[in-house]
Amino acid sequence: MREIVLETKGLRKVYNADSLNAVEALHNVNIQVRKGDFLGVMGPSGSGKSTFINMISTIDYPTDGNVYINGKNVRMMSANEIGHFRYENLGFIFQDFNLLDTHTMFENIAMPMTLAKETPEKIEEKVTAIAETLNIGRLLNKLPGECSGGQRQRAAIARALVNDPAIIVADEPTGNLDSENSEDLMDLFRKLNTENGVTIVMVTHDSFVASYTSRLIFIKDGDISTEIERGNTDQDDYFSRIVSISSSRRKRRHHA
């Protein structure tokens, strides 16, 4: 049995808890992610999926419940401990890339290693190797603004992977990419997952993008309403299941 790298127990988040406008965004969410999983998270706007991602990313704190990453209870850590733990154990990929415009692609990719106070020699070696793997080695001296959207997203992936994190957290990673670059990115994700054993948790609204995952949860009104696994089915059949679930949920909302 593969080891559990992420677990939530009784995860609950209430915004404005002390006011009349209290909103319970998540309630009693329990999930386990094992090493090598590729978990997708879907749900309509306001369902709680962004809150869920923020909780497991240590970006925000739960009102109740706990988040365990590599067996460690994040909620028990101080702010300084969480900061250090985050860049050692988590890699982040965002819709808008989140690259620093005034820094070269090399400097952007190296950022987690720089924060971890790695030696310049080790940083040079690791960044160069991972950039070559992602076919952006020739772009390392360029600024992000001199590169295409697909190239910038590859740099963001390289930055996320450079510290060999336990989990990659991807929030709508194809949101600013055209269909060709989106497909290239998802092929890359699948390769990283199946060949390199990289654990990925990804939020998406796109059923086709979701069909690259090995497991998918649907969040509705702060709860996990449905969970499916790809298993041995091919991608087309898995995609059809995802579309069927997504469309039936939209119909129920329309008739409600």
What backbone phi and psi angles, to 5 degrees, belong to 219?
-105, 130
227 vs 17: CA distance, rounded Å? 29
Task: Give the total number of structural domains in the chain.
Answer: 1
74 vs 67: CA distance, rounded Å? 6
Q: What is the pLDDT of residue 253?
A: 52
102: left (phi over 0), alpha (psi -120 to 50) or beta: alpha
Span 144-199, pLDDT tens digits: 999 999 999 999 999 999 988 889 999 998 888 888 888 988 998 999 999 989 99
Q: What is the pLDDT of residue 255?
A: 46
CATH number at residue 200: 3.40.50.300
User: Is the Cβ–Cβ distance between 67 and 56 less than 8 Å?
Assistant: yes
Sheet with strand 72-73: strands edge to edge: 23-34, 4-15, 64-69, 72-73
Q: One-letter amino acid identity for 162?
A: V
Query: What is the pLDDT averaged over residues 204-218?
Result: 95
Judged against a pLDDT cut of 90, whether residue 124 lies above it is answered with yes
25 vs 65: CA distance, rounded Å? 13
83 vs 10: CA distance, rounded Å? 23
Give residue 249's pLDDT band: very low, low, confident or very high (50, 70, 90).
low
Q: Give me the long-range contacts of 229-236 (CB less than 8 A, separation at least 24).
A: 235/211
User: Is the Cβ–Cβ distance between 62 and 13 less than 8 Å?
Assistant: yes
Tokens of 56: 């497991």
Q: What is the mean pLDDT of the chain?
A: 91
Q: What is the pLDDT of residue 10?
A: 95
Query: What is the pLDDT averaged over residues 65-83?
Result: 91
Tokens of 116: 């971890």
Judged against a pLDDT cut of 70, whether residue 250 lies above it is answered with no
User: Which range of residues forms the domain containing residue 235?
Assistant: 4-255
Q: What is the pLDDT of residue 254?
A: 47
Q: What is the pLDDT of residue 199?
A: 95
Q: What is the pLDDT of residue 44?
A: 87
Query: What is the pLDDT averaged over residues 107-131?
Result: 93
Q: What is the pLDDT of residue 181?
A: 85
Q: Which is more confident, 222 or 87?
A: 222
Query: What is the pLDDT averaged over residues 235-251?
Result: 86
User: What are the strands, taking DSSP E only, across the chain?
Assistant: 4-15, 23-34, 38-42, 64-69, 72-73, 90-94, 167-171, 200-203, 215-220, 223-229
H helix and E strand count, the chain? 8, 10
* Distance set, CA 109 to CA 82, 136, 137, 160, 211 (Å): 21, 11, 11, 8, 28
29 vs 19: CA distance, rounded Å? 23
Span 17-55, pLDDT tens digits: 888 888 999 999 999 999 999 999 999 888 999 899 999
Residue 10's nearest CA partner among 31, 40, 24, 25 is 31
